[in-house]
Amino acid sequence: MIQWFSRSNDDPTRKELTRRGFELGWISEQTRPDMPDAKTIKAKWSGDEAIMLPGILTTAIAQYAAEITHAHQLMEKTLNGDEIAAQLEAEPYASRLAPKFPLISSVFEEHDEQCIEKLFFDAEKNHEVIAEDLWCKASWLSFHDDDASMRFRFSFGMEGYEDVAADPARQNLASELTDAIFPESAAITEHPSLNQLLENMIGSKPAYTERIIYFNAPNGGAQMHHDVERGHLGVVFAQMHGSTGWLALAKPKLMDEIQAFLALQESEAALIKVLPDIDAQHALRELAKDRNKLSKHIDAFDHELSEALMDRCPEFIQHLFAQGYGHILKPGDVLLMPQRDIKNCVWHTVFCLDDEPGEALSFALRTR
């Protein structure tokens, strides 16, 4: 169970929830959750609930301590402005990438302000090119000056239009490229009991695609969002280093909680702070009266009214923690988030709980 506080206190385990300048309270984990059994995991997954697997990778990640240190150095040098291409042409990356994944080019995309550097690779077998246009893209998670959160995303083809479900061969090669740069990925992909649990959960051997390596930094993290995409079932998120705070709940429950919160007397004062304009407050309350409208609004690219509540309102964050939707992930913990479809997917928001960026792996889960 996670306890939320409005301000700092004497609890030595307390962690600050501050993201992009918004102070959203403090949390501490009163007790570590228990490891759920296979039956519970399956039932929760089918019921669109986020599932935490505490410490399942603790032993596995100890075997990748050197690689996790290298990843941390890659992130730090990138933050210092070092070119990623030059780093990947040096050890330990050069020998891991050769001979299968020659680095073809790297670009600084001007049309994408969040792009740090995008690197293109071919895949070769016996000196023959077997696939082109595999890429690793490093991006900022926000435009906030004091948020150094970044990620490395792996995919192929035209970004934004890539239909990963339609090209399993290149999708697999993009996953292998991730393994070459971040070998600690095997802590998930080669983990016998995690794979067994996931196979039992989805009814087929798991495959891990659309891989992203996150470095959530102090004052950073991710706003409330979902990850629904064609062809995958959900997300496996694993903390390698550092710790993160989470709220994760299926969209119908998120709507329930928005409606429940707005019905509370104390929501009035809370709302005034995040939506000072009376018309905006009124508009959000009107949306919340009609579930269809609220649903459409949340799904819209611009959903500033509910965003004010979900991402900037400490009282609403407190409300969600009090309802039991919070998690604290430490190294070795895994969080599973089903993404069945747009109506039932688990929405989630992430906070960095440390003084420096930590590393996490986020892989989409699909049947093999």
Nearer to Fe ion, 70 or 366 (CB): 366
Two tokens at 325?
A: 């939707």
Query: What H or E segment, with its residue span, contains residue 59?
Result: helix 58-62
| Least CB distance to Fe ion at residue 225 (A) | 6
User: Taking the C-alpha atoms of 69, 73, 75 and 78 in order, what is their torsion angle to the nearest 10 degrees?
Assistant: -170
- Using alpha carbons, select from 202, 248, 210 the residue that is nearest to residue 229: 210
Which of the stretches 20-28, 199-207, 224-232, 282-290 binds Fe ion when contact is defined by CB under 5 A? 224-232
293 three-state secondary structure: helix
Nearer to Fe ion, 227 or 333 (CB): 227
Which residue's beta carbon is nearest to the bound Fe ion? 227
Residues 200 and 364: beta-carbon distance below 8 Å = no
Nearer to Fe ion, 123 or 329 (CB): 329
| Least CB distance to Fe ion at residue 151 (A) | 10
| Count of residues in contact with Fe ion, rule CB under 5 A | 1
| Least CB distance to Fe ion at residue 17 (A) | 17
Nearer to Fe ion, 49 or 227 (CB): 227
Nearer to Fe ion, 106 or 349 (CB): 349
Which of the stretches 54-62, 120-128, 198-206, 225-233 binds Fe ion when contact is defined by CB under 5 A? 225-233
Spatial separation of the C-alpha atoms in residues 98 and 120, rounded to whole Å: 14
| Least CB distance to Fe ion at residue 290 (A) | 27
| Least CB distance to Fe ion at residue 363 (A) | 11
Spatial separation of the C-alpha atoms in residues 343 and 54, rounded to whole Å: 28
| Least CB distance to Fe ion at residue 210 (A) | 11
Which of the stretches 143-151, 176-184, 222-230, 245-253 binds Fe ion when contact is defined by CB under 5 A? 222-230
Which of the stretches 84-92, 210-218, 226-234, 314-322 binds Fe ion when contact is defined by CB under 5 A? 226-234
Site string for Fe ion, 138-167 (x = CB under 5 A): ------------------------------
169 three-state secondary structure: helix
Residues 343 and 251: beta-carbon distance below 8 Å = yes
| Least CB distance to Fe ion at residue 362 (A) | 7
- Using alpha carbons, select from 276, 295, 279 the residue that is nearest to residue 287: 295
| Least CB distance to Fe ion at residue 348 (A) | 6
Nearer to Fe ion, 221 or 314 (CB): 221
Q: Regarding beta strands 103-107 and 346-352, do their DSSP bridges make them parallel or antiparallel, or are they unpaired?
A: unpaired
Strand runs labelled E in the chain: 2-5, 15-19, 22-29, 51-53, 103-107, 115-125, 128-140, 150-156, 206-216, 221-225, 234-239, 244-250, 326-329, 334-338, 346-352, 358-367
351 three-state secondary structure: strand
Nearer to Fe ion, 185 or 216 (CB): 216
Residues 206 and 193: beta-carbon distance below 8 Å = no
311 binds Fe ion (CB under 5 A): no
227 binds Fe ion (CB under 5 A): yes
29 binds Fe ion (CB under 5 A): no
Nearer to Fe ion, 87 or 339 (CB): 339
- Residue ranges in contact with Fe ion by CB under 5 A: 227
